Structure formats: C-alpha cells, structure tokens
C-alpha cells in the first residue's frame, strides 16, 4: 500500500499515480450511477469518483458513506474533462478514481453543515466546537495563529531573548482587575491566584540577570466579559534590561513588521508614527485612534468663548469644552431623524446632547444657528474648513465626555460612511501617558497602567505637587483603533517604588504585605528594565480580518465565562471541597 498523501498536495503532475488518501467526507453526490465525494483533510479537498467500472465493491461501500464519515481511499489520480473542471477548488482540474475505500468511522448528521458560511447560532457552534473548527475559515485562522506565533518566536530568538515560563499558581495582588483564586489543600484557608499578567515575575527575571525574556503567556482576569474579552487570554510578554523606551519600541515595531510582512505580504514602513496621548485625545477623542481615516475632532471653545447659547456657555464656563466633527458633504444625507439617532448614540457616552448645523451656501441652518453670531460663524467655518453641504456635529461638555462621545461618534460615522480603507494596517505608538488617574469616588490616585511604571524623569518633581500631570515612561501600540498592548520602563530603584506606593495611598505595611518580595529584590542590584506585552488573540483577530475574539481562541468561553462544549464551570463533589477546607456560601447551598 502506498503512503498516505494529503489531498492538498495532489497536482496534475501526479496523473495516473496510485494514491492513498485519508480524511472526512465533505459531501457526497450521486450522478448517473456514479458516486462523487469531496474528501477533506487538513490540507484541502479533492473529488473522489466511485465508478462501477473501476470497482463495484468500492461503489457499494460508497453508497453507505455520509457527510463527515472518516474514510481511507486508494485510487488513481486522473485529469478531469474540461467540462467538469472546478475553478473554485485548488485541486479542481483532477479527481481520484477510487479502487477501494474503507470506512474508518461513521458520523451522525452534524447539527450544522461544515462549510465556510454558516448562519447557525454561536451557542450551537460553541457546543459543537469540534465541528465548527472543521470549517475552512477557522482552520485557516489557527494556521495563521501558529504561523504568527512562530514568526514572533523566531524574531525574539534571533535577538537573543530567552523564552521562559512563569508560574500560573501565584500570589493574589488585589490591585487591578479581579483575580481568579485557587484554594490550597496543603495550606487550608490560603489561596493561589492565577496571574493577570506575569508582570512581577518578568521584572524578577530581570533582577535575576537574564536581561532578555519573552513568553507567550496565558493570563487570567475575572472581569465582566465583553465581546472582546475572555477570562483567559494570551499575551506576547517581553522584558529587557538596560534598554531605553525608544529601543524597546524600535525592536517591537521591527517584530511587528516581520509579522505583517510574512503573514499579510505587506511592507510596513518604519519607524512607526508616535503620538502623545494628549494629541491622540485632542485629534481623535481616543487613546487608541484609528488613523485610517480623518474626521478628526475640531476644537472650537475659543471661537465660542462668548457664545450666548447656554449649552456652549455652560460647558466652557465650567471648565469643559466644545468640539465638533465636520461630516463633509453629508448635510443633505442626514435627516433630523438620522441626527436624533446620533444624539441617542452620544448620550451613551455621557453627552447631554448633540448640537448640529448644516452649511448651506455660506449660511448655517439648524435649530442652534440663531445663537451663532457672524463672527462665530466665520471662525467655525475656518477652523472646520467647512463649506457648502457640510454637517457640523457639536458636543459641549466636560472634556472627558467631549472626547468619549465624539471619539465614538467619529468611529461610528467612519464605518457608516465607509471612510475606512479596510486593507490598511495603521500601526502607531501612543506615548506620554498620564502616570496616575484620580478616582473621585475613592478620593485617591490609581496607577493608570500599574504601580511599577516609571514616571518621566523631568516630571519627577510633580509627583507630590501635581500628580495628575506626571507623565509615564509608557507606550501603547495601536492598530486600526485597537490597543494591541503596551509597556513601560519600570521603576528599578527601591526609594522610587516606595514613593510610588505612598502616592497611591498604600501604607508601608500594605505595600510590604503585597509587594514585599519586589521591594526586597529592588535592594539587591536591580537593573534598569522595561518591556511590553501585546495581546496575541487580538493581533490574530486583526490579521485574520475577523471581528470576534472567540474565533481566534481554540476553545473559547462565552460572555458568562462558560465553556459550552465541556460544560465548565460545573459543580464538584463535597469530598473535593472538604479536602480544600472550603464550603459554599448559603445562597448556593440553598439552590
């Protein structure tokens, strides 16, 4: 018997050869006493023909074959007639005449057909994930994921990085998102936590003298899930000693250049654009701007400083601002009803309303036009480079609301008006992030990234006096409006880390309890260090042109963190809980 060959490797060069094929029956058709099956394996599909002249016995077995049966076929490669060539199939100019066939395993009728497009509900597809994964689109996504991962590894290996594994059973550090906890049997009443990221371990790896570390690392966050969040996710985790933020960014962009080149065949120009956080917010109302299209925010507080329109006046006087989007040439296409819908949309982001005017000739039309003086009009038209037929959409509010609502509205209109060139891969760095964020409810500052991020040298003296304006030595990598990840230069001096915890409101005892091992490690020759972490799942999603993060994870969980295939999480036995010295709280045991 010949050796098995993959269907995708069959070519016209092999005509008349005997081949052994193994795979799944994609579909079966009966026609004029013959049976045709499309035989699928990991490499592709080929048509197999059962012909009574070739083998009556094989034909009889083929009659019992159904979709998704697993079969082994021995046969001869033949050229198809011109009339039966299938140009949509890679092997469409040939077929295999079966001499024999063996049914290796049967299949019930699948709950949905294994084909590229499917309209079956996602819940059904997740329950039968092993069937969904047989679809070509998902097969290709996981090949791409494999390829991308290897490109990244090869790049880092070539740059003298060591791949290292950090623990999954770690210590709970409540700062940040919620930890998943793991009760300890050996130490009753104590718990491990699953890592939200290997942050502290990778810093300790630097303190261990390894200098260049990476890991394709599993991370865990027990957060309320959104479409683009999963309880476990994978990040490309990198840390280096003795490199500057510029050097880390340069290396990272060369890595991404390699990925985009090999996976998409696109040449990416370096260096990537770098944009300070303040500029990103001002121009795009977003800290992860999609720069594939314009429609930038236009700031008009100065023009409207003396406005008699109460909404503008109020926002400006209370320290907020007025900004607008100029929807070029679209005035005629937006009815009052259309604009009402946009108003509802921005309200989700906290805006009290959406003011608007249409430019008609050199006049402004619309309900608020009457509040706008000629001077103001001239100023607005100039700033917005607005001309006949434009639609101007205003938000006047607290600065953060103006950014959030106009930033979101910009993205919505960008898609709706098809302003986005979907073939583009627009990477950019967002830099000069604020180090700290004030939580009004709790009345204290929080680390905008994490408490180990170093402040920019020249802002150090503001840590006490003007914490809100201290910039972090941090950088985020953004692609087409998605944050791929970010990094920073870390604090490496004990005194500065102590200081940071103090600014964040930790008592010395609290800092010691949670991070004592780090503080101690900083006293034994910690090198200057920094790194980056990039979300692999999201990178794959964008490279594969998909819109759902679940499509990039082999066995994903639902929005309620369930695995619909295995039915995890699930109840466990009393004996298991007893061994762990835990009990369920009342509200469960009642159920």
The site map against its own copies for 32-71 (x = CB under 8 A) is --------xxx-------------------------xxx-
Q: State in angstroms the smallest separation of the CB of 460 from its own copies.
A: 17
The DSSP code for 122 is H
Rounded CA-CA distance 14/23 in Å is 19
Q: State in angstroms the smallest separation of the CB of 55 from its own copies.
A: 22
Which range touches its own copies (CB under 8 A), out of 44-52, 91-99, 199-207, 350-358? Answer: 199-207
Q: Which of residues 308-347 bind its own copies (CB under 8 A)?
A: none
- Residue 537 annotated in ligand binding: yes
Name the residue nearer to its own copies (CB basis): 68 or 476: 68
Within 8 A by CB and 6+ apart from 237, the residues are 197, 198, 202, 213, 214, 215, 216, 217, 531, 533
Name the residue nearer to its own copies (CB basis): 276 or 528: 528
Structure tokens at 511: 């800092």
Q: Is the separation of the CB atoms in 522 and 497 below 8 Å?
A: yes
Within 8 A by CB and 6+ apart from 415, the residues are none
> Is residue 139 near its own copies by the rule CB under 8 A?
yes
Among residues 77, 194, 260, 316, the one that binds its own copies under rule CB under 8 A: 194
Among residues 110, 176, 350, 379, the one that binds its own copies under rule CB under 8 A: 110
Q: Is the separation of the CB atoms in 254 and 272 below 8 Å?
A: no
Cα–Cα nearest to 85, from 77, 94, 72: 94
- Residue 551 annotated in ligand binding: no
> Is residue 528 near its own copies by the rule CB under 8 A?
yes
> Is residue 553 near its own copies by the rule CB under 8 A?
yes
Where does residue 569 rank: exposed (0-12), middle (13-18), buried (19+ CB within 10 A)? exposed
Q: Which phi and psi (to 5°) does residue 383 adopt?
A: -60, -40
Rounded CA-CA distance 226/559 in Å is 6
Q: State in angstroms the smallest separation of the CB of 33 from its own copies.
A: 26
Rounded CA-CA distance 218/238 in Å is 13
> Is residue 492 near its own copies by the rule CB under 8 A?
yes
Which range touches its own copies (CB under 8 A), out of 258-266, 293-301, 483-491, 553-561? Answer: 553-561
> Is residue 105 near its own copies by the rule CB under 8 A?
yes
Q: Is the separation of the CB atoms in 404 and 285 below 8 Å?
A: yes
> Is residue 22 near its own copies by the rule CB under 8 A?
yes
Name the residue nearer to its own copies (CB basis): 96 or 372: 96
> Is residue 9 near its own copies by the rule CB under 8 A?
no
Distance from chain centroid for Cα 532: 16
**Cα-Cα-Cα-Cα dihedral sign, residues 284, 285, 287, 289:** negative
Q: Which of residues 223-262 bind its own copies (CB under 8 A)?
A: 231-232, 234, 241-242
Rounded CA-CA distance 160/528 in Å is 18
Among residues 54, 125, 212, 328, the one that binds its own copies under rule CB under 8 A: 212
> Is residue 142 near its own copies by the rule CB under 8 A?
yes
Report CA-CA distances (Å) from 23 to 1, 47, 72, 123, 557: 17, 12, 7, 27, 29
Name the residue nearer to its own copies (CB basis): 95 or 179: 179
Label the pairing between strands 212-220 and 232-241.
Answer: antiparallel
Q: State in angstroms the smallest separation of the CB of 569 from its own copies.
A: 4
Number of residues that bind its own copies (CB under 8 A): 119
Rounded CA-CA distance 573/591 in Å is 15
Rounded CA-CA distance 197/237 in Å is 8
- Residue 535 annotated in ligand binding: yes
- Residue 129 annotated in ligand binding: no
> Is residue 265 near its own copies by the rule CB under 8 A?
no
Name the residue nearer to its own copies (CB basis): 222 or 296: 222
Which range touches its own copies (CB under 8 A), out of 248-256, 275-283, 351-359, 561-569? Answer: 561-569
Q: Which of residues 153-192 bind its own copies (CB under 8 A)?
A: 153, 157, 162-172, 174, 178-192
Angle between helix 136-158 and 536-543 (nearest 10)? 120
Q: State in angstroms the smallest separation of the CB of 252 from its own copies.
A: 19
- Residue 417 annotated in ligand binding: no
Among residues 4, 79, 365, 415, the one that binds its own copies under rule CB under 8 A: 4
> Is residue 547 near its own copies by the rule CB under 8 A?
no
> Is residue 458 near its own copies by the rule CB under 8 A?
no
Name the residue nearer to its own copies (CB basis): 269 or 586: 586
Rounded CA-CA distance 343/355 in Å is 8
Q: Is the separation of the CB atoms in 303 and 383 below 8 Å?
A: yes
> Is residue 134 near its own copies by the rule CB under 8 A?
yes
Name the residue nearer to its own copies (CB basis): 132 or 376: 132
Rounded CA-CA distance 33/52 in Å is 8
Going by the annotation, the residues of the binding site for ATP are: 221-223, 230, 483, 535-538
Going by the annotation, the residues of the binding site for L-aspartate are: 175, 221, 449, 490
């Amino acid at each position: 018997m010949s050796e098995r060959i993959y269907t995708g490797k069959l070519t016209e060069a092999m005509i008349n050869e005997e081949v052994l094929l193994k795979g799944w029956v994609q579909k079966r058709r009966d026609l004029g006493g013959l049976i045709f099956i499309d035989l699928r394996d990991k490499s592709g599909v080929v048509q197999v023909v059962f012909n009574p002249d070739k083998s009556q016995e094989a034909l009889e077995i083929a009659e019992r074959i159904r979709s998704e049966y697993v079969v082994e076929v021995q046969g001869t490669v033949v050229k198809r007639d011109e009339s039966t060539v299938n140009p949509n199939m890679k092997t469409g100019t040939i077929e295999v005449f079966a001499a024999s066939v063996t049914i290796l395993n049967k299949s019930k009728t699948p709950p949905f057909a294994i084909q590229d497009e499917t309209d079956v509900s996602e819940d059904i597809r997740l329950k039968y994930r092993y069937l969904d994964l047989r679809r070509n689109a998902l097969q290709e996504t996981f090949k791409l994921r494999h390829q991308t991962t290897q490109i990244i590894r090869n790049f880092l290996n070539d740059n003298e990085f060591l791949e290292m594994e950090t623990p999954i059973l770690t210590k709970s550090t409540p700062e940040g998102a919620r930890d998943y906890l793991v009760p300890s049997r050996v130490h009753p009443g104590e718990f491990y936590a699953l890592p939200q990221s290997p942050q502290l371990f990778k810093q300790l790896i630097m303190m261990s003298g390894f200098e260049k570390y990476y890991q394709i690392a599993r991370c865990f966050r027990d957060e309320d899930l959104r479409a683009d969040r999963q309880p476990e996710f994978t990040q490309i985790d990198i840390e280096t000693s003795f490199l500057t933020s510029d050097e880390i960014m340069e290396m990272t962009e060369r890595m991404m250049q390699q990925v985009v080149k090999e996976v998409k065949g696109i040449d990416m120009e370096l260096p990537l654009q770098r944009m300070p956080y303040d500029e990103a917010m001002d121009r795009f109302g977003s800290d992860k701007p999609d720069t594939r299209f314009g429609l930038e925010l236009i700031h008009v507080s100065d023009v409207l400083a003396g406005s008699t329109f109460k909404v503008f006046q109020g926002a400006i006087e209370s320290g907020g601002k007025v900004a607008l989007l100029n929807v070029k040439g679209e005035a005629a296409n937006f009815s009052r009803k259309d604009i009402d819908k946009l108003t509802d949309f921005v309200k989700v982001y906290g805006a009290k309303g959406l003011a608007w005017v249409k430019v008609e000739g050199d006049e402004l039309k619309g309900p608020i036009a009457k509040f706008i003086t000629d001077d103001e009009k001239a100023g607005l038209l100039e700033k917005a480079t607005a001309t006949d037929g434009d639609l101007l959409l205003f938000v006047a509010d607290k600065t953060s609301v103006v950014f959030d609502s106009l930033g979101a509205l910009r993205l919505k209109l960008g898609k709706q008006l098809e302003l986005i060139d979907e073939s583009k891969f627009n990477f950019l760095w967002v830099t000069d992030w604020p180090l700290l964020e004030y939580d009004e409810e709790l009345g204290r500052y929080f680390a905008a990234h994490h408490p180990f991020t170093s402040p920019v040298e020249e802002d150090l003296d503001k840590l006490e006096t003007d914490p809100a304006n201290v910039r972090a030595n941090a950088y985020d990598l953004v692609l087409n409006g998605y944050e791929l990840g970010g990094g920073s230069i870390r604090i490496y001096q004990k005194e500065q880390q102590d200081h940071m915890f103090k600014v964040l409101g930790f008592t010395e005892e609290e800092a010691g309890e949670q991070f004592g091992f780090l503080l101690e490690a900083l006293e034994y020759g910690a090198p200057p260090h920094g790194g980056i972490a990039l979300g692999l799942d999201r990178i794959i999603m964008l490279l594969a042109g998909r819109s759902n993060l679940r499509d990039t994870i082999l066995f994903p969980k639902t929005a309620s963190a369930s695995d619909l295939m295995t039915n995890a999480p699930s109840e466990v036995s009393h004996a298991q809980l007893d061994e762990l010295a835990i009990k369920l709280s009342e509200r469960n045991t009642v159920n």
